[in-house]
Amino acid sequence: MEYRADIGVFGGSGFYSLEDNVEEIELETPYGKPSDKISLVEIAGKKVAFLPRHGKKHQYPPHLIPYRANIWAMKMLGVKKIIGPTASGSLKPEIKPGDFVVCDQFVDRTWGRKDTFFEGPEVRHISAAKPYCEYLRKIAIESAKELGITVHENGTVVVIQGPRFSTTAESRWFSSMGWDVINMTQYPEVVLAKELGICYVNISLITDYDAGLEGRDDIKPVTEEEVYRVFRENNDKVKKLIYRMIEKIDVDYICEE
């Protein structure tokens, strides 16, 4: 496969295209087909590949997304840095719907997902102590500030299996652990990228307060409609942030880790 892109972008729920009328390619990987065709665009002189992780029609629920095929396809195109925005819930009152969180840690509560490329004969154990790229995180935070977006510079995302949302008890537990946001797709996307040596950054767009907040009867449990509504309202903000980040990213920058 010839080199076609430097930066990869995964669209989350409610985010299915980056630009209209662009070249699209269909790829086949050793792990099957990615979620959809991949669009290739040039932004600020940089080659960008875009893939909606749920598919354009949102046909893949979080637990059935072909994560390995998606990451492998990005690698096939030559991608070295990935921006992975997601719709996420907040587990803390101070993290409000419409805010962005640039996560630096995750807690995996998923099960049964294919979460490694190393199933033998080659076996590897990658470090996950710092799963997110610090270089890209810095760029995301800087860019958000420049655009006047409320951004939380650190955050632990607890990744649940879905497709259902949390019970009140689960949500209370996650909050009491000090975790910040909740989502269904960050795992294994981030670690698969790391296995292939691709830098990865998550931008969690907060759409809701999970199952509500303790002692706050005015904050209602999340519904699907609410997630999409808030995401639609903030879609432009997400795209602006991604464009600003792409302008700033030095595609040849080599990270320490």
Annotated binding site: 13, 53-54, 86-87, 184-185, 208-210
Parallel, antiparallel or unpaired: strands 81-90 and 199-208: parallel
**Proportion of the chain in helix, strand, coil states, percent, rounded to 5:** 30, 25, 50
Closest residue by Cα to residue 8 from 52, 66, 48, 65: 48
Residue 188 preceded by cis peptide, ω within 30: yes
Taking contact as CB under 5 A, which single stretch among the options 35-43, 114-122, 128-136, 214-222 is the one that binds Zn ion? Answer: 128-136
Which residues are annotated as catalytic? 208, 210
Which residues carry a binding-site annotation for phosphate?
A: 13, 53-54, 86-87, 185
Q: Which amino acid is at 57?
A: K
**Hey, how many other C-beta atoms are within 10 angstroms of the C-beta on 52?**
27
Taking contact as CB under 5 A, which single stretch among the options 48-56, 155-163, 173-181, 195-203 is the one that binds Zn ion? Answer: 195-203
200 binds Zn ion (CB under 5 A): no
Taking contact as CB under 5 A, which single stretch among the options 135-143, 144-152, 163-171, 216-224 is the one that binds Zn ion? Answer: 135-143
Instruction: Report how far residue 231's alpha carbon sits from residue 144's, in angstroms, rounded to the nearest whole number.
Output: 16
Least Å distance, CB 84 to Zn ion, is: 13
230 binds Zn ion (CB under 5 A): no
Question: Which of 153/170 has CB closer to Zn ion?
Answer: 153
Would you tell me which residues interact with Zn ion (CB under 5 A)? Answer: 133, 135, 199, 255
